[in-house]
Structure 1
Amino acid sequence: MAQSQTAFQLLLDIDQRCRSLAAGLPLQETRQQGWSGIGFRMGERLYVAPMGEVGEILHEPRFAALPGVKPWIKGVANLRGRLLPIMDLCAFFGQELSALRKQRRVLVIDHHDVFAGLLVDEVLGVQHFNERSLMPDTPGNCDPAVAPFVQGQFLREQAWLVFSPEKLVQSPGFMDVAL
């Protein structure tokens, strides 16, 4: 150390030497945008609904049958003091609901003025995908009746179709429940 160097200059010298000898930081990978949704099964197909479009998931509740409604309307259940219409989503699309009652679940939709429960064969939990892997089209993978409510697909072992419950509850066919 030179006698004429101040303590501050010595610290600056040490700092410069450390910086010149330090290994560079690894390049930070660009963070992938994640997309999450509620996975469910309807028949043999796998679907995923955007997280913000499903308010709650229930076991199949007891419900009272309603007269004068289409066959895909299972009935109405009491959910914490609110009447929840239970709709068989498989039957709405002309499919058979699974016989395994223990696996069935209800996706509760609360969109604007529509409060409804969509009965599905099975809920497969929260599914996470890379947003960039969303394929906007669904060539031949989709039942024509379901296609208007599908907004693309993710591929992981098999196709997960992105199903929009909000689009469904806005459709005139879904709202027309009377016989």
Structure 2
Amino acid sequence: MAKQQAAFQALVELAHRSRRAAKGLPAQVDITPHWSGVGFSLLGMHFVSPMGVVSEMLEVPPYTRLPGVQPWVRGVANVRGRLLPLFDLAAFFGGRLQTHRKLRRVLILEAGGLYSGLIVDRVFGMQHFPVDTYTTDLSGINAELRSLVSGSYELDEQRWWVLNPATLAENARFVNAAKL
């Protein structure tokens, strides 16, 4: 019985020492919710599009030019057995792509009956922004882009414009790409 009592006392002493040596829980930090999107550059600015709109990103594939279309329509490409119309988004807005061809990427959209590829200068992948940095102030964005931009986020002193390319399906000039 004395051995059992000694073993119990040893366990009690071990429990007391453990409690004295235990560190407290870390301070509770307020967690800010984040909004995520696909980041890309165009016309010298940074943009981000909602995750659900951009279904894929890829290098600019070989494509076939189309006759009788606007100059910002680059042509069609065969992507896994589907014909993908390719559009130079910078040219659509009156500018031009600013990076080397190897850096350019295509954002594939599949939203609202729109299946198309938008050629942009560069893609940065997923970006995450604290929701409290969002603003609807559109000063600093040109009038052509305002119909597609809903606001912006600020991250590391960089403004990221929120552009929903699915709204291009509602743009009459984009939908009617034939030369007049």
TM over 0.5: yes
What residue is the counterpart of 2:35 in the other structure? 35
> Which residues of 2 match residues 126-165 of structure 1 at below 5 A?
126-139=126-139, 141-156=140-155, 157-165=157-165
Q: For structure 1, list consecutive stretches of 5 or more residues without a partner in the other structure.
A: 1-21
User: Using the alignment, how far apart are the partners of 1:43 and 1:122 within structure 2?
Assistant: 11
How well do the aligned residues superpose, as a CA RMSD in angstroms?
1.8
Shift of 1:49: 0.7
User: Using the alignment, how far apart are the partners of 1:53 and 1:115 within structure 2?
Assistant: 10
> Which residues of 2 match residues 8-23 of structure 1 at below 5 A?
none
What residue is the counterpart of 2:77 in the other structure? 77
Q: For structure 2, list consecutive stretches of 5 or more residues without a partner in the other structure.
A: 1-21
Matched residues, percent identical?
43
What residue is the counterpart of 1:102 in the other structure? 102
What residue is the counterpart of 1:178 in the other structure? 178
State TM-score, norm by structure 1: 0.82
User: Using the alignment, how far apart are the partners of 1:103 and 1:75 within structure 2?
Assistant: 19
Shift of 1:111: 1.1
User: Using the alignment, how far apart are the partners of 1:122 and 1:164 within structure 2?
Assistant: 17
User: Using the alignment, how far apart are the partners of 2:147 and 2:101 within structure 1?
Assistant: 28
What residue is the counterpart of 2:45 in the other structure? 45
User: Using the alignment, how far apart are the partners of 1:158 and 1:23 within structure 2?
Assistant: 39
Shift of 1:88: 0.2
What residue is the counterpart of 2:122 in the other structure? 122
User: Using the alignment, how far apart are the partners of 2:123 and 2:29 within structure 1?
Assistant: 33
What does the per-residue CA deviation read over 1:105-164, in whole Å, with 9 as the maximum and x for residues that have no partner? 00000113210000001111111101121101221x102111110010111222110001
Q: Secondary structure at the match of 1:61?
A: coil
State TM-score, norm by structure 2: 0.81
User: Using the alignment, how far apart are the partners of 2:169 and 2:112 within structure 1?
Assistant: 10
Q: Secondary structure at the match of 2:102?
A: helix
User: Using the alignment, how far apart are the partners of 1:99 and 1:23 within structure 2?
Assistant: 53
User: Using the alignment, how far apart are the partners of 2:45 and 2:69 within structure 1?
Assistant: 27
User: Using the alignment, how far apart are the partners of 2:163 and 2:118 within structure 1?
Assistant: 12
Q: Number of residues paired by the alignment?
A: 158
User: Using the alignment, how far apart are the partners of 2:162 and 2:138 within structure 1?
Assistant: 10
User: Using the alignment, how far apart are the partners of 1:109 and 1:96 within structure 2?
Assistant: 21
